[in-house]
Amino acid sequence: MLREVTRHKNVESITMVEIDAGVVSFCRQYLPNHNAGSYDDPRFKLVIDDGVNFVNQTSQTFDVIISDCTDPIGPGESLFTSAFYEGCKRCLNPGGIFVAQNGVCFLQQEEAIDSHRKLSHYFSDVGFYQAAIPTYYGGIMTFAWATDNDALRHLSTEIIQARFLASGLKCRYYNPAIHTAAFALPQYLQDALASQPS
């Protein structure tokens, strides 16, 4: 995730919270091609802390928070709780956006429903998008996003295209058409979300 964020030159600062310093040491030593020097980016700051503790204690605020964690069992479970979501809301700047992986919805539909229910307590606009992640069992990953900036949902394809061209990014997967298509959810997920009490 860090490597991809550092590709965006307009990002002013990057804070990564990791509970285990050993993970970072391992990645630096054994996965140099994967991290591609991103740990040495001058915008990067590493915080060794529990994610829930960090978002509930920090005085920093952010435009974007990306939660790239494991499934909601064992050590990763706390990053799918109301305490974490409330903390993320607290340290987001006005109009900021929170994003989190939510598993393979075809197999883990309850995870998305639970995230939607919890996030809706803190954000006025909550939704999902999907992407093909062939290294993950099931292939199509679901990601939750939450914001109080309702205008983000209504960005036109033309604006997305202009921003993408201005970024100068060369991507192997992403393009503005993929962006738009990612928000078209399968009917079983739409039905499951619609059947939840408000």
Q: Which residues are annotated as a binding site for S-methyl-5'-thioadenosine?
A: 18, 50-51, 75
What are phi and psi for residue 92, nearest 5 degrees?
Answer: -85, 140
126 pairs with which residues across the strands?
A: 146
Which residues does the annotation place in the binding site? 18, 50-51, 68-71, 75
Which residues does the annotation place in the binding site for spermidine? 68-71
Nearest to 197 by CA among 86, 81, 85, 117: 117
Asked if 145 and 98 touch (Cβ cutoff 8 Å), the reply is: yes
Asked if 133 and 141 touch (Cβ cutoff 8 Å), the reply is: yes
Q: Which of 40, 68, 150, 191 is catalytic?
A: 68
Cα-atom radius of gyration of the chain, to the nearest Å?
17
Q: How far apart (Å, rounded) are the C-alpha atoms in residues 18 and 2?
A: 12
Q: How far apart (Å, rounded) are the C-alpha atoms in residues 41 and 32?
A: 14
**Residue 49 annotated among the catalytic residues of the structure:** no
Q: What is the DSSP letter of 72?
A: S
Catalytic residues: 68
